[in-house]
Chain A
Amino acid sequence: MSDAALPAPATPAWTARAAGRLAGISRRSPTLAIGAAIILGFALLAVLAPLISPESPVASNPARVLQAPSAANWFGTDGNGMDVLSRVIHGSLYAFGIAIPVVIVGLLIGVPVGLWTGWTGGWPDEIVMRGSDALRVFPSIILALAVVAAAGPSLLNVVLVLGLLDAPVYARVVRAEVLSLRNGTFVEAAVAAGNPTRRILFRHILPNALRGATAQTAVRAAWAVRISATLAFLGVGIQPPTPEWGAMIRQGAEYMVTGEWWVAVFPGCALILLVLGLNMLGDGLADLLDPRRKAATR
């Protein structure tokens, strides 16, 4: 409304300012705040896993196979006598270890492709977009299954395959933004000022075209966590006894019928909670990252 500077408030300590900002963001978007809190919780678990987990996640003990939750083993023990709590805690490390690289691989492939096809249009655009359509027609789980089964079930393979499958999502959102920016006035102004194409693309268009992709990252990380767990559950991803939630659920599923529910339920809850948190973070980011919106509420 007004361009006059706001009255400078008495500068509080930076901690108070940060706390105020946190509270302000939580009030604007509780979804974002809850999502971020969940992710932060899991990130702490992952980083501190070696320190806080009561036991080694792969220490088997034939003397206490399939013990129900107790004071000694809060989440009980599994078929190998391993402590489920320790395995769930370490599992968060694997969840992030897959989700973050998958998102990075997806962005590294998807963003440049979206930028290029959105700017040039024409036949490269057609080919890439039809190609990505074709990828999307297959259920991604089937595609991932096939490739991982063929290439071997290593962590690296899972990451590469999921990242590649995810790239079209980023390519699409970036392309859509580039298309609308390409004919926009400030891009025309950049041409009129004499900018070379490379600078127009990277200085003027790219920074303004990343909003959608940024908001997508959390949602896509949730997808990566879910799919990698599914792969492990189906037995083609990460193999036991690695403490990965999907693999743990697969092991635990066998015991469900005989009443030893804790082996599968605890990693399952962890998985649901993390996926939920990531999705909430993604939704909140999408709201908050709109610079025009920020200007309007200034």
Chain B
Amino acid sequence: MSLLEVRDLHTHFIAYDLDNRLRTARALNGVSFSLEPGRILGLVGETGAGKSLTALSILGLLKPPARVVAGQAVFEGRDLLALPPEELNALRGARIGLVVQSPKTSLDPLARIGQQLVRLQRAHRPEFSAAQAEARAAEMLAAVGIPDPKRRLRAWPHELSGGMAQRVLIAMALVNEPSLLIADEPTTGLDVTVQAQILDLLRGLARQRGIGAVIITHDLGVVAHYCDEAAVMFAGQVVEHGPVSALFARPAHPYTRALIAATPERLQLRAPRPSGSPPNLYALPEGCLYRDRCPMAQDVCTRPPPDLALRDGHAARCHLAEAA
């Protein structure tokens, strides 16, 4: 059974504009993917594709005017989207760990690192004594590669470098032994030489503890080297998903191909390439959302594309996937 299975998730922003017209931005239009225990999934896409929104929707962290209008997110047999808030609260930070993008602003500036780790454990496991929780906090800091963990428990967040702060956040996400970890752009904003350290750490810990992880990123390099599976998002849909090796070797969706061709090491300057803006979420066209930019678009593309299964769990939401 899958650890997490997201089925046809739709999230809309519904609000009145300044001219009093009720307007709906269809930000997620049917996101589906699944994650097996112990595997790492890369959710990749460009700004506005809906990567972070997918995570927020699953975790029940949306703020108005955003709301989930349809779909399921089944985690360990329970649909997260149908759970009452208090039960979802009990899962977040316990069974599901979250690592967010900006480590510096995600730590409580007025509490020492140790206090924050202890607080988090005791919120979910009241049976822990303060001493037990503190001992585990120190173990956790050691596990994320923070030297001298006993002393570091006394450190304040502002005393940490960006890389250290991100390690602490990973420790916080893992301290309650979750079975699912969601990391939203865990290395964006870190220097490249530090990025490798954090990614190695994340992958190592996930493997060692058998945790299923979703890494949200815009960096195809991160997906290629640190993920087992990839799901490519465009305009609020997963347009292609499959094992990383298959997806990079035989990208089936034209958008995936364009994305790979635009990476610095593949980029050919002044070569023809699809251009244009992402579709207007307030007035999405019928049919394939990529067709305005797609060099291969045909008449059939005005109809909604199927999620075509290719070989080895590889699938693409494109009429022409088989031909490609």
Contacts and interface: CB of A to CB of B under 8 A. Distances in A.
Interface in B22-61: 25, 27, 48
Given A1-B25, A1-B27, A25 B18 contact: yes
Contacts of A297: 15, 17
- Among B15, B18, B27, which residue has the most Cβ atoms of chain A within 10 A? B18
A20 B278 contact: no
B282 A17 contact: no
Interface string B277-300: 111111100000000000000000
B271 to A, nearest CB: 24
A9 B17 CA distance: 14
B21 interface: yes
Contact of A20 (B21, B280, B281): B21
A124 interface: no
Interface string A85-104: 00000000000000000000
A23 B281 contact: no
Contact of B277 (A3, A17, A22): A3
A134 interface: no
A28 B48 contact: no
A79 B240 CA distance: 85
Nearest to B292: A4
A4 B20 contact: no
A292 B25 CA distance: 19
Nearest to B27: A1
Contacts of B282: 2, 6-7
B86 interface: no
B18 A2 contact: no
A21 interface: yes
Contacts of B18: 21, 24-25, 28
A85 to B, nearest CB: 37
B87 interface: no
Given A1-B25, A1-B27, A1-B48, A27 B20 contact: yes
B127 interface: no
B19 interface: yes
Contact of B283 (A7, A25, A27): A7
B15 A6 contact: no
B280 A2 contact: yes
Given A1-B25, A2-B282, A4-B280, A27 B19 contact: no
B128 interface: no
Contacts of B27: 1
Contacts of A17: 19
- Among B17, B25, B283, which residue has the most Cβ atoms of chain A within 10 A? B17
Given A1-B27, A1-B48, A2-B48, A28 B16 contact: yes
Interface string A110-124: 000000000000000
Contacts of B19: 17, 20-21, 24
A155 to B, nearest CB: 39
A6 B16 CA distance: 15
B17 A4 contact: no
A7 B27 CA distance: 17
Contacts of A27: 16, 20
Contact of B16 (A1, A4, A9, A24): A24
Contact of B280 (A6, A9, A22, A28): A6
Interface of B: 15-21, 25, 27, 48, 277-283
Given A2-B279, A2-B281, A24-B16, 17 more contacts: A1-B27, A1-B48, A2-B277, A2-B280, A4-B279, A7-B280, A7-B282, A9-B21, A17-B19, A20-B20, A21-B18, A21-B20, A24-B18, A24-B20, A28-B16, A28-B18, A297-B17
In order of increasing CB-CB distance, the 6 nearest A-B pairs are A24-B20, A23-B20, A4-B280, A24-B18, A2-B280, A20-B19
18 contacts: A1-B27, A2-B48, A2-B278, A2-B279, A2-B280, A4-B279, A6-B280, A6-B283, A7-B280, A7-B282, A7-B283, A20-B20, A21-B19, A24-B16, A24-B19, A24-B21, A27-B16, A297-B15
Interface of A: 1-7, 9, 17, 20-25, 27-28, 297
